[in-house]
């Protein structure tokens, strides 16, 4: 399906930072932008496959998951509206994905073939250099997110992992009350924990007056 996205709606997206409307239109055309819809739990990209398209979440959200041969699942990250996935794989084009990208809810994804960017730069398209620099920002943000998860799962205890994760959100959001992007099972998968053990530890932390929570809304006390 040919993309129907309004270029004005993309001006605040980081990849189109400092772009004019005409430049966004040109980029959408030359990067073969297409929009696709997915239902909750539908796999968007499969581990082992290759892709030349990076995805921009226009609506809903997706999770980046590692599902091994023994049925174990780890959630590596959550990608919400206005954010990207598979940009590194798309830029390289030949590297098999090590993860699955799954719709966390009904979502709409805009795909861009950024593998063509190198040719567009050499052809001296005036916006191509700006897009390349904006991609560098996206790559850097993803590296920070992945290093953040390493920090979250490095503690040996369940409580240590929960506190590391919640504290990072407290610092990032600047408030002691915030929503997390996961349900309990997803939170357990993200922190590499058993769901039952996680739920018990959350209950103990609540009883001790360290936190309060309702569903995915948490408060650090």
In sequence order, the 6+-apart residues with CB closer than 8 A to the CB of 214 are: none
- Residue-level pLDDT at 68: 81
- Tell me how far apart the alpha carbons of residues 198 and 191 are, in angstroms, rounded to a whole number: 9
The pair of three-digit structure tokens given for residue 203, joined into one six-digit string: 């209950």
- Residue-level pLDDT at 3: 42
Q: Which whole-number Å values give the CA distances from 67 to 40, 93, 97, 134, in the listed order?
A: 17, 22, 12, 31
Q: Is 1 a residue whose pLDDT tops 80? A: no
C-alpha closest to that of 107 among 53, 43, 24, 46: 43
How far from each other are the two terminal CA atoms of the chain, in whole angstroms?
49
Angle at 144 between CA 189 and CA 158, to 5 degrees: 35
pLDDT tens, residue by residue, 76-103: 999 999 999 999 999 998 999 999 999 9
Coil/strand/helix, residue 17: coil
Q: Is 2 a residue whose pLDDT tops 50? A: no
Q: What is the phi-psi region of residue 48: left when phi exceeds 0, alpha when psi lies from -120 to 50, beta otherwise? A: left
More confident: 27 or 2: 27
pLDDT level of residue 4 (50, 70, 90 thresholds): low
| Phi, psi torsion values for 205, nearest 5 degrees | -65, -35
- Tell me whether residue 111 is exposed, middle or buried, using C-beta atoms within 10 angstroms of its C-beta: 0 to 12, 13 to 18, 19 or more: buried
- Tell me how far apart the alpha carbons of residues 159 and 211 are, in angstroms, rounded to a whole number: 12
- Residue-level pLDDT at 200: 97
pLDDT tens, residue by residue, 114-143: 887 877 777 777 888 899 999 999 999 888
- Tell me how far apart the alpha carbons of residues 205 and 198 are, in angstroms, rounded to a whole number: 11
C-alpha closest to that of 206 among 186, 216, 221, 194: 221
pLDDT tens, residue by residue, 38-65: 999 999 999 999 999 999 999 999 999 9
Q: What does pLDDT average to over the chain? A: 91
pLDDT tens, residue by residue, 160-214: 999 999 999 999 999 999 999 999 999 999 999 999 999 999 999 999 999 999 9
- Residue-level pLDDT at 9: 86
């Amino acid at each position: 399906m040919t993309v129907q996205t309004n270029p004005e709606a993309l001006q605040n997206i980081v990849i189109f930072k400092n772009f004019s409307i005409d430049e966004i239109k040109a980029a959408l055309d030359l990067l073969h932008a297409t929009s696709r819809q997915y239902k909750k739990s539908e796999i968007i990209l499969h581990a082992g496959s290759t892709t030349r398209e990076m995805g921009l979440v226009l609506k809903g959200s997706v999770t980046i998951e590692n599902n091994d041969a023994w049925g174990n699942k780890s959630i590596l990250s959550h990608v919400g509206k206005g954010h990207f996935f598979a940009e590194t794989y798309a830029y390289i084009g030949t590297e098999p994905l090590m993860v699955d990208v799954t719709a966390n809810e009904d979502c709409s994804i805009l795909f861009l073939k950024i593998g063509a960017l190198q040719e567009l730069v050499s052809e001296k398209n005036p916006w191509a250099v700006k897009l390349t620099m904006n991609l560098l920002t996206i790559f850097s943000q993803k590296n920070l997110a992945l290093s953040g998860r390493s920090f979250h799962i490095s503690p040996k205890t369940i409580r240590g992992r929960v506190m590391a994760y919640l504290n990072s959100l407290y610092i990032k959001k600047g408030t002691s009350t915030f929503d997390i992007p996961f349900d309990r099972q997803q939170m357990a998968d993200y922190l590499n924990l058993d769901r039952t053990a996680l739920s018990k530890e959350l209950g103990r932390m609540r009883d001790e007056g360290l936190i309060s929570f309702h569903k995915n809304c948490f408060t650090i006390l």
